[in-house]
Amino acid sequence: METPISEVADRFSILRLKSERTSLDIKDEIAIYLTALDRYHDIGKYVNKLYEINGKIWDLEADLRKGKESKLGLEEIGRRAIAIRDLNNVRVGIKNEIVAEYSQGFAEKKINHASETVACPIR
């Protein structure tokens, strides 16, 4: 099964952030993803949206990844968790736009609870 373009775009945007914000050398991975993205007309607008949202998520998670929970306090951790959840909902919406635009892959539909998703094919 081939990776849907919505997932490729999302992963590429995260790789781009990783390349810019860390010292990891991931040029080869980025090149592979760029080759895949180049096959899709106007995919750049979606990649840019995902890059922006994933950057905001990265920023909110940064101190947590560094183990600074005790300095943040429970209230701030909770605030960030809610913000991350909300940004992830926006992220899923962008990925669903890609699925609809290119008729490839599956859209995620939220049901009953903010953390639950069900994969549904686009018709």
**Whole-angstrom Cα distance, residue 80 to residue 56?**
11
DSSP tag of 56: H
> CA geometry: angle at 60 spanning 56 and 62, to 5°?
110
Q: What is the pLDDT of residues 23-63, one digit of tens each?
A: 999 999 999 999 999 999 999 999 999 999 999 999 999 87
> pTM for this structure?
0.83
Please, what sign has the CA dihedral across residues 33, 39, 40, 41? positive
Token pair listed for 8: 């490729």
Query: How do strand 117-121 and strand 106-110 relate by DSSP bridges?
Result: antiparallel
